[in-house]
Structure 1
């Protein structure tokens, strides 16, 4: 017994049946379906076209090589920082030893937090833009709430009118 090819469906799928019914009832035409298919192909051409794919692939490769170079620099920098400094010392006068011993732990903590502090400083200019965006969103949400309140008041008045109309009919 020969098995059926799974890529060639024997029974039409539900989407095809639905479209056939729409065409049969006159809700859609074959031409409109073909136009929609052409528009869909046109919209997705930049995603699926080989020329666009090769361009995106080359950009991705370029970005990947750039990130690898940054990673190599970072790794070499970390390796240099981990290596102990031998036979090097800071000449400090005796009366300043106490201050240096207090400053060194503070410097170590500062260096540990340097990356996060730099990221915080970089993100500071964007805060004002985000605050403005949030203010706009809050204003928009307030207007939507007011509009919703007006609609609810209208619905409540309409319901009251319907109730009074039904009560007046029931009393007759």
Structure 2
């Protein structure tokens, strides 16, 4: 490897220029080696440190790229790995069995509800069947009357509304009483005044 190379993966512009000069016989490899050997130690150390920093940075970039690839593989492993797939398949099977059990229970419940709750033919003796019919009619009448009563109760005003109406009526009645009392006082005053005028006129 050439000592002018900054990394094993790339060629610097200076090294490329020197390589062209050597290929065109402008410079020889010996002249380049002798010139590089005559460099001051300070310059050589700085160049070496720069090369080390560049190599280290590229190694870090390579490691970062590998770490990103590993993270991506880890994310995709949740879907493609057989371990995770087997666990998810087991959970899916459990869920399917639970759904099947619910469907079976629903079917059995539906069949039970479709069956009649009582017998179609009531075991009633012949001489009592007329009373059973009367009782059924009375029951229907009772249900109808009860519905009418409930409807009337729902539609009727509540006790609070009735109390408010009573208070309003009482206030109106008191107002009318006060008006009547004032009118009666006015009538009495006018009557007294009229009688006093008549007495004065008769005395004169």
Query: How does the TM-score come out when normalised to structure 1?
Result: 0.37
Query: How does the TM-score come out when normalised to structure 2?
Result: 0.32
Q: Which has the higher contact order (CA 8 A, sep 6+)?
A: 2
